[in-house]
Structures are given as structure tokens and as C-alpha cells.
Amino acid sequence: MTVPCSGPTGGASGLVEAVKQVNADGRGVIRLSANCNYDFTAPAETGTRGGDALPIIKGEITIIGGPSTHIRRTGGPKFRLFEVFTGAQLTIRGIFVEGGDSGDFTGGGILSARGTLHLFQVTLRNNTADNGAGLSNDSGTAVVSYTLITDNTTVHPNGSGGGGAAIYSDGRLSVDFSRLSRNSANSSGGGVYNELGGSATFFRTTLDENTAKIHGGGLLNGVGGRARLVRTLVEDNRASDGGGIYRDQEAGPVLLDDSLVIRNAPNNCRPVGSVPGCS
């Protein structure tokens, strides 16, 4: 189905109704207008993890936009934009996902809670959350391709939490031909926070100019996490330690395959020797 930019069946309200319909049908494709802003000022649903601009994805849904199609939170209370339910699948293509704010909850732009998420030619920017400001992959599967994740911020009122400004993941994560840039974490993992059995693979991707107050300006590989970087660049990230990559002592391996970790401050990888091939 097609949701026009305006009119009685268009805009943000039309998109809400379209998601409801596809959820009821079980699967479907929603096409959005080019050069259109679908602006939200209130959540469609509020659950145990805060509010969502759109109904929680419970079927198999593909949403296609572009060029210059925006789904945005532009005011009102704090709420994220997308949430994917357990066992559901969401594919987003050619859309800007902006301005989500889940407050003290995870996933400011998108939360996939044991679901499956595919992002293709998406821009995730200016989203805020306790962790996973751009994207929170909570024990699910996330495939991110040809996507820009930028200017997302993690915050927490008491100073705790706040990890994974671009992406938080404790599931299966694949990022290829993408860029994670200028994201800022209140604690660790300015670019990515990968932990608790999470498996993260990066292919021909750049993590640059991300910051973390504590560890892992580019990537924090936490307890039980494992990561592989293939032809990937990690540069110009900052943290108090492990400006590029920080590997927790109880984490799995971080493998560099024809990848560069350079010009990060105050160092590239920590602890010393924890990431083979990184000085």
C-alpha cells in the first residue's frame, strides 16, 4: 500500500493506520512519498519500554521511501520511532529516521527486541536514549547496509548507562558498507557497544569521530561479546581509554581482518595486546 504525504489517508496518521493494517494482515509493503516529512508529536503506543511513534511491528513489514523521505519525532513527549516485536521482521529502505527519544529506555530511533531488522540506505540521526540511541538490537538480528548512523546521543539522568550511541547490540549484528560517525555515549561505546553474547561483524565500514566518556570511542566489546572487522576503518574516535576499540577482559575476541585502527585518542586499542594487530 502507498501512504501519501498529506490528506486524510496520508502523513503520520496515515502511516500509523498502514502499519496497523499490515500487522493485521501478517505481512506487506508500505511505500512512502519522496521528499516528504512524516512528522510525529505523540506516540501511537506506550508499553513497558516507553512510547513508540508507530504501532509495534508484529508482522513482516517492509517500508520503502526515498529520495528524501523522513520519519521524525518533532515534539511532544519522549518516544522512539520504531519497535520490532519478538519474532517479527522490519525492513526499512531509503528513509531518514530522526529525532527519536526513548528517555530512560533503550533504542531512541529503533528498538528490535528479539526481532529481525534490515536497514538499507537509511540515515539514523539525532536520536537519544539511555543506550542504543540510534539502534538497539536486543537479542535480535540486525543487518545494516549502506547506512549512515550519525549524531545520536546516549544520556541518563543519574550518569549511569548511556552506552552504544550509534548501536547497542547483544544479538547478531552485521554492518556493511556503512558509516557510524559523530555519535556520543555518556559511558562507553561511542560507536557500538557489543556485549552479552553479541556477535558483531563489520565489512567495509567506517567508525569515525565518535566519543565515549569512559571506554571504546569507536567500539566497546563487552562481557561475552565478539567482533570481527573486515576492511573496516576505525579512526578519529575519542574516549578516556581505548579511543578506537576497548575489549573487556571477559569479552570474546576482536579480530581485525585487513582493517585499520588509527588516529584515535588517547590510544587506539586497550588493554594493550587485547586486539591482535592493533597498536
pLDDT of res. 158: 63
Position 277 in a domain: no
Rounded CA separation 86/90 (Å): 11
pLDDT of res. 47: 82
Position 82 in a domain: yes
Position 279 in a domain: no
Position 264 in a domain: yes
CATH code, domain carrying 60: 2.160.20
Position 278 in a domain: no
Position 58 in a domain: yes
The residues that bridge with 83 in the sheet, in sequence order, are: 111
How does pLDDT run across 98-140, given as a tens digit for each residue? Answer: 999 999 999 999 999 999 999 999 999 999 999 999 999 999 9
CA distances from 223 to 35, 95, 103, 227, 255 (A): 43, 33, 25, 12, 16
3-state SS, residue 115: coil
Domain that holds residue 138: 2-270
First to last CA, the chain: 52
Number of helices (H), then strands (E), belonging to the chain: the values are 1, 31
How does pLDDT run across 174-230, given as a tens digit for each residue? Answer: 999 999 999 999 999 999 999 999 999 999 999 999 999 999 999 999 999 999 999
Nearest to 135 by CA among 105, 110, 118: 110
**Which ranges of the chain does DSSP label H, i.e. alpha helix?**
11-25
What does the mean pLDDT of the chain come to? 96
**Cβ neighbours for 136, distance < 8 A, ≥ 6 positions apart:** 106, 107, 110, 111, 112, 129, 164, 167, 168, 169
How does pLDDT run across 28-86, given as a tens digit for each residue? Answer: 999 999 999 999 999 999 988 999 999 999 999 999 999 999 999 999 999 999 999 99
Position 276 in a domain: no
How does pLDDT run across 248-267, given as a tens digit for each residue? Answer: 999 999 999 999 999 999 99
Q: How many domains does the chain have?
A: 1
How does pLDDT run across 132-166, given as a tens digit for each residue? Answer: 999 999 999 999 999 999 999 999 766 567 899 99
Residue pointed to by grid coordinates 561483524: 201
pLDDT of res. 160: 64
Query: How many other CB atoms are found less than 10 A from the CB of residue 279?
Result: 10
pLDDT of res. 159: 58
